[in-house]
Amino acid sequence: MKTLELNDLLHIRQENELWFANNERAVFVSTRAFGAMQRDLIENIGIDRMKTFFFKYGYQLGVEDAQEVAKRDSLSLLEKIEYGPIIHALKGHTKSTITEKDFEVEGNEIKSFRFKGVWENSYEAEQHIRNFGISQGPVCYTLTGYATGYISGVVGVDVFFKELQCQGQGAPCCVWEGRLVSEWKDEAEEFFSYSKELPILKELEQTNEKLIQEKNNLTLVSKTYNEMTNELIKGNNIDSILNILYKQHHLPIVVEDSRQQIIAYKGINLENFEKVRKTFTEIPDKKQCQSKVGIFSFDNGTSLVSPVYLMGKVVGYCSFLYEQDRTPNYEIDSMILDRLASICSLLFLKEKTEVESLEQVKGHFLEEIISGKYTQQEIMRKADYFQLDLSVRYQIVALTYKFLNTCDEKEFTIHKKIFEMVSAYFREVANLNVLIGQQPDSLILLITERQVTQQNMEKTIRSLAAFLKKQLKNALFLAGISAQNSSIIEAGVAMEEALSALRLSSRDEPITLFSDLGLLGILINDQNEKAIKKMIRDHLGVLYENLDNNKLELIETLYHFLEQGGNLDQTAESLALSKSGLRYRLNKITDLLAIDLRDPQRQFQLMMALKALKIIEHERIKKIQAE
């Protein structure tokens, strides 16, 4: 038997051709073999598991050596600590040197511990560089594990050693520091977490179970979605779809539009839902485009809410409600709710397409009525298809718009959007059955007396303009309302009345009734257009001749002056002019016309001529203003 005594700490002997170190059987492994194992572990279990694997391995080596040293009662605590680096070096791991040492013992208890030192020629750093090149962080996990295990075993409290720099990072040597675990806080947790980690097989079992559960969840969601889709394909409505969902999950369901008005519900009555909604601590913001299912709480439970999108905009919400005794299965329920939102989106698209098609047909019908294509009997018969009685009195409204500032949207897009908003107002807000036709720069509305009386017509159109103004704050909406008519055959005449009234509407008075035109409204028609133009020329003189923008500016000034009853302050405010600027224009008008603007008779004649000009020369004025 051969015995080698490297020093009094490490005894190596050979017995029956086997090697023993300090009476423990030992094997000799090359650092290259260790490097191969290091490489394979990183490739197979990942760097994070490999860190704790080697740290634990080194920790065990350190604890075993500490147990041997602890048997030597003749050594002081400091001497036992200082033997650690010596044994480490004797076993070939690294050359270890302590550079700083500071610890405090009170009785048998370690109160503080702080050691620093260096490792040179770390076998672990050497192999890491050989196999992987320069690292981004420290790599000597067995060395830090050894130091941690050895010192913890010697002093009897948990300490932790950490590399401050490492040869594996390209440093000339490894610099380490050891402290009590309580001083490192979270920094030590990463390496001590190995005791909490599951074995790989157990982890794979749990992962497999999760995958099976996820598959079952997806199967359930897919089955539910397919059943809802089948109802949609059959042409059934939202109530039928909610019935299927409620039978499967027994959850109260509510579908609302973008204004949070209830469209459909199941499993809860409306009175109870309104009570619940009042207690919501948080309600989805309609102005923000939500992209995920949200959780909202109320007094007695919670709600899952998913937005319904159509053409990139939120057009509604779907909700599941849970009372306090029921907890949402967020993973499954959110997926199902999201599928319901998709189904609702398709239903809303279908409804939108149907409504737009109907409105377009109704608009075409109105255009054909105005053009005189049908007899009265044909009109009455076709109107029945739209549940509309055109045998009663009616009025026609001409509606147009102007933008106060530059608008980026194309004219066609804006016109289509306003048509849709007007249609939505009468369908959803006012609940009126109205025919809506389109002109190049305006909308034509036919409204029967049975739905809106003549006395309430102006109020209805003002409400419409206010509704549109909320949607398009940059726009000014102007309207003209025809006289009441009893013969649907004369719809073309009524439209001309509405257009004539519209031409006199302004920012100060955006709605004009044809009846407000008085005698002028009766006189203006195709038969006496020449006579009307002569009347305009006789009263406006040179202002009417060779019309241009400068003369139109003077004509507008005169119109506002007469409309305000000759009040300079009100006229200046209406035109956004200074009083001196207004006086200058009025003096110029007086000189050009050679008249007294304070003469009541002359004021009446001028006002008639100006109103007639706005109606008769409407297209010509628009063309000049556009130049």
Average pLDDT estimate for 474-493: 88
Q: How confident is the model at residue 288 (pLDDT cuts 50, 70, 90)?
A: very low
Higher pLDDT, 438 or 619: 438
Looking at residue 383, its amino acid is A
Angle subtended by helix axes 376-384 and 330-371, to nearest 10: 170
Residues 288-306, mean pLDDT to the nearest whole number: 70
Instruction: Summarize the confidence of residues 37-59 as an average pLDDT.
Output: 79
Sheet holding 174-180, edge to edge: 95-106, 109-120, 174-180, 159-165
Q: Which residue has the higher pLDDT, 119 or 315?
A: 119
What is the pLDDT, as a whole number, of residue 285? 47
DSSP state, residue 528: G
Query: How much is the pLDDT for 100?
Result: 92
pLDDT at 166 over 90: yes
- DSSP letters, 3-26, are EEEEETTEEEEEETTEEEETTEEE
Confidence band, pLDDT 50/70/90 cuts, at residue 286: very low
Question: What confidence score (pLDDT) does residue 409 get?
Answer: 60
**Residue 69: CB partners within 8 Å, gap ≥ 6?**
9, 75, 80, 83, 84, 87, 154
pLDDT at 526 over 60: no
Q: Please state the rounded mean pLDDT for residues 501-509.
A: 78
Predicted local confidence at residue 279, as pLDDT: 63
3-class SS at 398?
Answer: strand
For residue 175, is pLDDT > 90? Answer: yes
Task: Give the whole-number percent of the chain exceeding pLDDT 70.
Answer: 82
Q: HEC states along 314-347?
A: EEEEEEEEEECCCCCCHHHHHHHHHHHHHHHHHH
Q: What does the mean pLDDT of the chain come to?
A: 80
pLDDT recorded at residue 205: 63
pTM: 0.50
Q: How confident is the model at residue 216 (pLDDT cuts 50, 70, 90)?
A: low
360 has pLDDT over 50: yes
Q: Do β-strands 174-180 and 109-120 pair in parallel, antiparallel, or remain unpaired?
A: antiparallel
- Label the pairing between strands 18-21 and 174-180: unpaired
Q: CA nearest 157: which of 194, 103, 116?
A: 103
**Would the pLDDT of 90 be above 70?**
yes
Coil, helix or strand for 412?
helix
Q: Which residue has the higher pLDDT, 136 or 192?
A: 136
Radius of gyration, alpha carbons of the chain: 45
pLDDT(524) > 90: no
Residue 394: the pLDDT is 93
Residue 203 pLDDT > 90, yes or no? no
Whether the predicted pLDDT of 110 surpasses 90: no
Report the pLDDT averaged over residues 17-29. Answer: 69
What confidence score (pLDDT) does residue 147 get? Answer: 92
Average the pLDDT over each of 258-267, 377-386, 399-408, 523-532 and give the range with the smallest value.
Answer: 523-532
Among the residue ranges 75-84, 192-201, 248-257, the one predicted with the least confidence is: 192-201
Domains and CATH numbers, the chain: 2-197 (3.30.1380.20), 203-350 (3.30.450.40), 372-511 (3.30.70.930), 518-627 (1.10.10.2840)
Q: Is the pLDDT of residue 2 over 50?
A: no
CA distances (Å), origin 622, targets 279, 454, 548, 552, 610: 55, 31, 11, 11, 15
Q: Looking at residue 346, what is its pLDDT?
A: 86
| Residue 344 pLDDT greater than 70, yes or no | yes
Per-residue pLDDT at 10: 66
